[in-house]
């Protein structure tokens, strides 16, 4: 089991305090990124798959405020309830599978460019779920993508295709169903 302190908390907090200029940039239009998801098991086996991340809109401050408050008061269940009826912010597509609607898309500036966090309200893949003795799938209700890109749209990131989201103090923690970290390499903006 991978527990990772994610930058999602920084993104959610930053989304709450972004300036108007950043919000105007965030709403500037749709973007699409491609990447290769890659994972290597402890036994040395490797797997890769293409990933497409489509961003139709980034969340405005008022919308993200409500979701943060819902999570703080009701945990993951509160967040899921608050997401009911929220229009998709884009989608995440793994290989040739159907695109999974994203319900949260948040962007924050970094020293290298910008960090984009995308959350779906359902899991996309239980990596390792078919092996004997695999852990139960209950509670892994989200998928989380973090990509950091430069001004040209190139970068890298991580992908938790099935994840639990919890709160530890004021930091969001992603409990990834997979026992190995899925990295996104070769992230690039498609024009």
Q: What is the pLDDT of residues 16-53, one digit of tens each?
A: 333 333 333 444 579 999 999 999 877 788 999 999 99
pLDDT > 60? residue 111: yes
Instruction: For residue 98, give its domain range.
Output: 2-190
Percent of the chain with pLDDT over 70: 83
pLDDT for the residue 171? 65
Element (H, E) at 25: helix 20-26
Q: How many domains does the chain have?
A: 1
CA dihedral 73, 76, 78, 79 (to 10 degrees): 110
Q: What integer pLDDT is reported at residue 8 of this predicted model? A: 43
Among 29-33, 60-64, 109-113, whose mean pLDDT is lowest?
60-64
- The pLDDT, as a whole number, for residue 169 is 65
């Amino acid at each position: 089991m991978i527990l990772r302190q994610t930058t999602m908390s920084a993104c959610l907090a930053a989304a709450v305090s972004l300036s108007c200029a950043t919000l105007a940039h965030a709403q500037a239009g749709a973007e699409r990124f491609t990447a290769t998801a890659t994972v290597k098991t402890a036994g040395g086996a490797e797997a890769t798959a293409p990933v497409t991340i489509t961003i139709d809109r980034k969340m405005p401050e008022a919308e993200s405020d409500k979701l943060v408050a819902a999570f703080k008061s009701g945990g993951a269940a509160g967040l899921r309830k608050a997401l009911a009826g929220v229009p998709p912010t884009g989608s995440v597509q793994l290989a040739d599978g159907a695109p999974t609607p994203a319900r949260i898309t948040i962007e924050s500036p970094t020293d290298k460019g910008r960090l984009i966090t995308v959350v779906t309200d359902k899991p996309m893949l239980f990596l390792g779920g078919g092996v004997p003795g695999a852990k139960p799938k209950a509670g892994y209700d989200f998928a989380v993508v973090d990509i950091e890109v430069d001004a040209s749209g190139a970068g890298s990131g991580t992908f938790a295709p099935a994840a639990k989201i919890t709160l530890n103090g004021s930091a969001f923690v992603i409990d990834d169903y997979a026992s190995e970290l899925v990295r996104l390499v070769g992230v690039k903006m498609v024009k």
